[in-house]
Structure 1
Amino acid sequence: MPGRCKDGVVTHASGPAPQRTSPLTQSILAPNPGPMSLDGTNSYLVRRPGSPDVVVVDPGPSDEGHLQALAGQGRVVLILVTHRHADHTEGSRRLQELTGAPVRAALPAHCHGGPPLRDNEVILAAGVDITVLATPGHTSDSVCFHLPADQAGTGSVLTGDTILGRGTTMLDFPDGTLGDYLASLDRLAELGPATVLPAHGPVLPSMAAAAAAYREHRQGRLVQVRAALQRLGQDATAGAVADAVYADVDRSVRRAAELSVAAQLHYLREGGGGQ
């Protein structure tokens, strides 16, 4: 276990070594694997090479060893959160205690010592320009962080759960909606070949390609939902439609599938998808 001074300041840290994910970022995988979190939460370290300062994105769960490892990677000057789910936010207050760095998120409830994030805000920290992009859909407060100077100017984007490294994300309806999510995918697609740095799963090489694949997947699901409604009736419940559309999903992710179906039904019944 890392040593600490009496005031809680970290003096050294042990734990997993950070993995290089792009010229301006590294990640440390949190020990919280599961059906929804895949291998665990990727907590990112953002800084200009050689900078003594570091920004932590998505501290992850309240795991002391993981948080000590993050705190020991340099002088943490800022903690950013992509959205409200506990596998991203739970450790943020403890990391603030360890480092003194403010925590900023879109929702005031998840800010500690710093103001809420604003869409299109540009943050300069640890020698890096970080642009905040509001990308609701997975949740209403989801944001991504664009690093335009990363990858020799191609850029990178820390996407939280908006785009994952493998599989597709759930829509946490009614907080997250499909209309918002599709608009967010379109916004991200405009970043072209930027590298995708997801909070779960491996790095992806192209934002445009990832966003297009996600949009195609959602449109395909809408076709399946429409077909299910034709068989079951237009007033069919989300549970009944999920039984038809997601019949092969593991029970461990059944609730997520049903929430996504509820978002799809809301979208169609509100006139989305050309209805």
Structure 2
Amino acid sequence: MTLTHPAYEQLRAVTPSASVLLADNPSQMTLQGTNTWILRAPGSSEYVVIDPGPKDRKHSAAIARETGGKIALTLITHQHADHTGGIDRLVALTGTPVRAVKSEFLRGDGTALVGGEVIEAAGIRLTVLATPGHTEDSVSFLLDGPDDAALLTGDTVLGSGTTVLESRDGALADYLASLNNLIAVAPGRVLLPAHGPEHRDAEPVIRYYLAHREERLQQVRDALVKLGPNAKALQIVAMVYADVDKRLWPAARSSVQAQLAYIRSHG
């Protein structure tokens, strides 16, 4: 039987070089759970792991089992615990080196990731793309294998829903630039997100994300006209996100704060 999303803790092949293990940590913020991507060219004896997932012994054990412990490298898309919590357990089980933008997540001889660098391991080629916005340390990866091309986007672009932005000044400007940079490299690539299902054509999904973010930005501008220029973020959330479950309003507030900072600096 062919596996389909979601298939918890079962290795599901998606492209010739990419398979996914879905962690059993569903929530409103993680959708069906966190995707751990396991990469290797057909015939390679080693693997590259993207995001070891949450602190969950069952999930770490599943990664170790499916790779036989032969992990050449583990890469981190960003700092959030549902992506990084499993680092130390996986290192204990397999000895994998770990690379990330932030030094606190480096293990073994792993060095900090740098946008634009090319990593070759397990018979595949990965190009690191700096894609800040969701977090300042967010990165995506271009995957080029012998028989396929894909784009691993972490939480920058999800398989469904939308992405929460940091509340920091500059987050939205960074995010819009990240989306445009991803659009430029997306044609012909499969979208492999950190949450939700994959998409066979990455470009239209990313274009939707850009259009949606610009639509939300205009809604915040319109809300400021009605509420006044000094309106608080939560007031705007109540107006713009009125159709969204109130349990998600704290996350929406973070995105609105980023949008307000953008509007006040860019107009």
TM-score interval (norm. to shorter): over 0.9
Pair 1:97 & 2:92 matched? yes
Q: Name the SS for the 1:28 alignment partner.
A: strand
Q: Deviations over 1:162-182 (max 9, x none)?
A: 000001110022177110000
Aligned-partner Cα distance in 1 for 2:57–2:89: 8
Pair 1:128 & 2:121 matched? no
RMSD of aligned residue pairs (Cα, Å): 1.4
Partner of 1:62: 55
Partner of 2:135: 139
**Please, what TM-score do these two structures have when normalized by structure 1?**
0.90
Aligned-partner Cα distance in 2 for 1:252–1:98: 37
Q: Name the SS for the 2:82 alignment partner.
A: helix
1:73 Cα deviation (Å)?
1.9
Unpaired segments of 5 or more residues in structure 1?
A: 1-14
Residue 76 of structure 2 contacts residue 84 of structure 2 at CA under 8 Å; is this kept in 1?
Answer: yes
Aligned mate of 2:239, from 223, 244, 249: 244
Q: Which residue type is aligned with residue 93 of structure 1?
A: D
1:23 Cα deviation (Å)?
1.2
Q: Name the SS for the 2:66 alignment partner.
A: coil
Pairing 1:210-225 to 2, within 5 Å after superposition = 210-225=205-220
Aligned mate of 1:168, from 136, 152, 162: 162
Partner of 1:108: 103
Aligned-partner Cα distance in 1 for 2:62–2:79: 22
Pair 1:204 & 2:199 matched? yes
Aligned-partner Cα distance in 1 for 2:36–2:169: 24
Pair 1:259 & 2:258 matched? no
Runs of at least 4 residues off by over 4 Å: none
Aligned-partner Cα distance in 1 for 2:169–2:260: 14
Pair 1:177 & 2:171 matched? yes
Residue 9 of structure 2 contacts residue 24 of structure 2 at CA under 8 Å; is this kept in 1?
Answer: no
**Please, what TM-score do these two structures have when normalized by structure 2?**
0.93
Which stretch has the larger CA shift, 173-182 or 46-55? 173-182
Q: Deviations over 1:120-171 (max 9, x none)?
A: 1111111111111100011000000111336x45x20111000000011100
1:253 Cα deviation (Å)?
1.3
Unpaired segments of 5 or more residues in structure 2?
A: 1-7
Aligned-partner Cα distance in 2 for 1:116–1:122: 13
Aligned-partner Cα distance in 1 for 2:122–2:95: 15
TM-aligned CA distance change 1:175 to 1:33, over 3 Å = farther
Partner of 2:82: 87
Q: Which residue type is aligned with residue 35 of structure 1?
A: Q
Aligned-partner Cα distance in 1 for 2:217–2:66: 44
1:207 Cα deviation (Å)?
2.2
Aligned-partner Cα distance in 1 for 2:73–2:65: 14
Partner of 2:5: none
Aligned-partner Cα distance in 2 for 1:100–1:245: 47
Aligned-partner Cα distance in 1 for 2:10–2:213: 36
Aligned-partner Cα distance in 2 for 1:142–1:175: 16
